[in-house]
Amino acid sequence: MKPSSITFGKFIALRRTAKGWTQLRLAHELNRSEDWMSQVERDIQGVKDLALLRCLAEVLASDLGELMTLPQPAADRPRSRARKSASATLANTSAAEEDDVRRRPFLTLATAALFAAAAGQEAAHAEEKAPLGGLEDLLLYGANRIPAPRSEPTHESISAALLTSRRQFKAAQYDELAEALPSRIAAAQMVGSAEECARNVAQLYNLAVRLCIKIGDNNLVAITADRALTAARAGGDPLVVAEAQRMVSSAWRRQGSLARATDIVVVAAEDLLADNTVPETARLALRADLYATAAYTAAKSGDRGYAHALIREAADSAAAAGRTSGLVDGIQGVALHELSVHYELGDSGKAIELASTIDPAALPTAERQARFFTDVARAFDQWGKPEQCFKALLAAEEAAPQEIHRGAVRGLADGLLRHDRKLPGVRDFAARAGVQIV
Beta strands in 260-302 (DSSP E): none
In a shared domain, residues 138 and 207: yes
Count how many domains the chain has.
Answer: 3
Separation of alpha carbons 18 and 335, rounded Å: 32
Closest by CA to 248, choosing from 315, 196, 202, is: 202
Instruction: Name every residue whose Cβ is closer than 8 Å to that of residue 150 and which is 6 or more positions away in sequence.
Output: none
Which helix (H) or strand (E) segment holds residue 165: the answer is: helix 155-170
Separation of alpha carbons 304 and 317, rounded Å: 20
Instruction: For the beta carbon of residue 156, count every other beta carbon within 10 angstroms.
Output: 9
In a shared domain, residues 59 and 163: no
In a domain, 346, yes or no: no
Are 393 and 362 spatial neighbours (Cβ–Cβ below 8 Å)? no
In a shared domain, residues 161 and 204: yes
In a domain, 89, yes or no: no
Q: What pLDDT does 427 receive?
A: 92
In a domain, 64, yes or no: yes
In a domain, 204, yes or no: yes
Tell me, rounded to whole angstroms, the distance of Cα 22 from its chain centroid. Answer: 20
**Domain-terminating residue out of 255, 280, 297:** 255
In a domain, 280, yes or no: no
Q: What is the mean pLDDT of residues 362-370?
A: 92
Which helix (H) or strand (E) segment holds residue 43: the answer is: none
Q: What is the CA radius of gyration of the chain?
A: 24
Please write the tens of the pLDDT for every residue from 299-341: 999 999 999 999 999 999 999 998 877 666 788 899 999 999 9
Beta strands in 213-313 (DSSP E): none
Q: What pLDDT does 127 receive?
A: 38
Are 273 and 298 spatial neighbours (Cβ–Cβ below 8 Å)? no
Percent residues over pLDDT 90 in the chain: 54
In a shared domain, residues 35 and 106: no
In a shared domain, residues 224 and 111: yes
In a domain, 176, yes or no: yes
Average pLDDT, the chain: 84
In a shared domain, residues 194 and 55: no
3-class secondary structure, 124: helix
Q: What type of residue sits at position 260?
A: R
DSSP 158: H
Q: What pLDDT does 75 receive?
A: 45
Separation of alpha carbons 377 and 352, rounded Å: 9
In a shared domain, residues 78 and 215: no
pLDDT band at 130 (very low <50, low <70, confident <90, very high): low
DSSP 191: S
Q: What is the DSSP string of 104-173?
A: HHHHHHHHHHHHHHHHHHHHHT-SS--TTHHHHHHHHH-GGGSPPPSS---HHHHHHHHHHHHHHHHTT-
The model's pTM: 0.71
Polymer length of the chain: 438
In a domain, 274, yes or no: no
Separation of alpha carbons 320 and 311, rounded Å: 14
In a shared domain, residues 166 and 77: no
Residue 399 has pLDDT above 90, yes or no: yes
In a shared domain, residues 129 and 224: yes
CA–CA distance from 191 to each of 138, 142, 186, 197 (Å)? 17, 16, 10, 6
In a shared domain, residues 59 and 198: no
In a shared domain, residues 44 and 132: no
Are 224 and 240 spatial neighbours (Cβ–Cβ below 8 Å)? no
Q: What pLDDT does 38 receive?
A: 82
Please write the tens of the pLDDT for every residue from 137-191: 888 888 877 877 778 899 999 999 999 999 999 999 999 999 999 999 999 999 9
Structural domain that includes position 196: 100-255
pLDDT band at 92 (very low <50, low <70, confident <90, very high): very low
**Domain-terminating residue out of 208, 236, 255:** 255
Q: Which value, to the nearest 10 degrees, does the dihedral of the CA atoms of residues 171, 172, 175, 180 take? A: 50
Helix, strand, coil in percent for the chain, rounding step 5: 75, 0, 25
Please write the tens of the pLDDT for every residue from 239-287: 999 999 999 999 999 988 999 999 999 999 999 988 999 999 999 999 9
Closest by CA to 328, choosing from 336, 318, 337, 338, is: 318
pLDDT band at 74 (very low <50, low <70, confident <90, very high): low
At 20, which CATH number? 1.10.260.40
Separation of alpha carbons 335 and 341, rounded Å: 10
Q: What is the mean pLDDT of residues 394-406?
A: 93
In a shared domain, residues 106 and 249: yes
Instruction: Name every residue whose Cβ is closer than 8 Å to that of residue 292 and which is 6 or more positions away in sequence.
Output: 310, 311, 314, 333, 334, 337, 338
3-class secondary structure, 32: coil
In a domain, 267, yes or no: no
Instruction: For the beta carbon of residue 418, count every other beta carbon within 10 angstroms.
Output: 10
